[in-house]
Amino acid sequence: MYLGSLALLLLGLFAAAVIYVTAEDDSSGVIGYEVVNGVAYPVAPADSKAYQRDLERFGGKANVLAVEFTRWFESLWQGRRLAFSVGFLGIIASLALYLFAKYLEPE
């Protein structure tokens, strides 16, 4: 089980590295760009003040927070952030398997 834990760790980190190298940061859903000090920043529809105001009007502050949390959580599974998510989950799964094997070991 210790070897399985090591294999899981190496596989997770390898998969994360491959995803990181091959993934592109997705810029879909951009409605325009805002230029500040010569640097262009993408503007998504959900970042507009009118959208934020409508969210708060219909659902209150809790709705605004829930939508922001949902957008953040969805962003973890796209582009290069997916590589960090896969690497983190690989480390956690490997650690869980290692601790499980340690627990099963006779004293």
Higher pLDDT, 34 or 13: 13
What is the C-alpha separation between 78 and 45, in angstroms, rounded? 18
What is the C-alpha separation between 27 and 51, in angstroms, rounded? 19
CA dihedral 73, 79, 84, 89 (to 10 degrees): 60
* Domain shared by 2 and 13, yes or no: yes
62-71 LR contacts (CB < 8 Å, sep 24+) = 71/46
Tokens 């998510």 — which residue?
85
* Domain shared by 68 and 33, yes or no: yes
Residue-level pLDDT at 28: 62
Per-residue pLDDT tens for 17-73? 999 999 886 656 677 788 889 888 877 777 778 888 999 999 999 999 999 899 889
Residue-level pLDDT at 27: 59
* Domain shared by 57 and 94, yes or no: no
Is residue 82 predicted with pLDDT exceeding 70? yes
Question: Which residue range(s) make up the domain with 62?
Answer: 27-77
What is the tally of structural domains in the chain?
A: 2
